[in-house]
Amino acid sequence: MHQTVLATRPEERERGPRAATTNQSVLVVDDDRNVLDLIQYILEAEGLSVVTAEDGYQALIRALYRRPSLVLLDLRLPHLSGEIVARVLRDTYAEALPIVVMSGNGEVEEAAQRVGADGYLNKPFTVTGIVEAVRRALDRMGVQ
């Protein structure tokens, strides 16, 4: 069983700190459950709806079932790499789906360019960094 980063009640982890106040949904993909929980908490506090996936296959299934407003995608994932996920999403949705990649390796900027990402985040990240990267990508796409 995974430990959660934040000490919250189970019902808060399921629905977030507050209900989404916009129609904007973010698919967050990372193989570290603690990172997913933290990012979900941060983005839901910003009024965004968040769906999570722990590997590349889950990410594609969720994104193809219902197109999110944005994908926040770790590049190093089990089963299917973040780069492959980004390419499939680009082939499917073209530029209509903003993708922000994140990674702890020093080559995240180059990888973001290779996959045509709309932005990137270096790990470790800050709360402000996540919020700004997501808002920038959503604003650039004119997502309300």
Please state the domain extents for the chain. 24-141
CB 136 within 8 A of CB 51: no
Residue bearing tokens 């009024």:
47
Q: Is the pLDDT score of 49 beyond 50? A: yes
Q: Which fold has domain 24-141?
A: Rossmann fold (3.40.50)
CA distance 33 to 29: 10
CA distance 78 to 30: 9
**Residue 15 DSSP one-character state:** H
Q: Is the pLDDT score of 3 beyond 70? A: no
Element (H, E) at 37: helix 33-45
As a whole number, the mean pLDDT across the chain is 85
Element (H, E) at 124: none
126 backbone dihedrals φ, ψ, rounded to 5°? -110, 160
Q: What is the pLDDT of residue 97?
A: 94
Dump pLDDT digits (tens) for 68-123: 999 999 999 999 999 999 999 999 998 899 999 998 877 888 989 998 899 999 98
User: DSSP strand E in the chain: where?
Assistant: 25-29, 49-53, 70-74, 99-103, 119-122
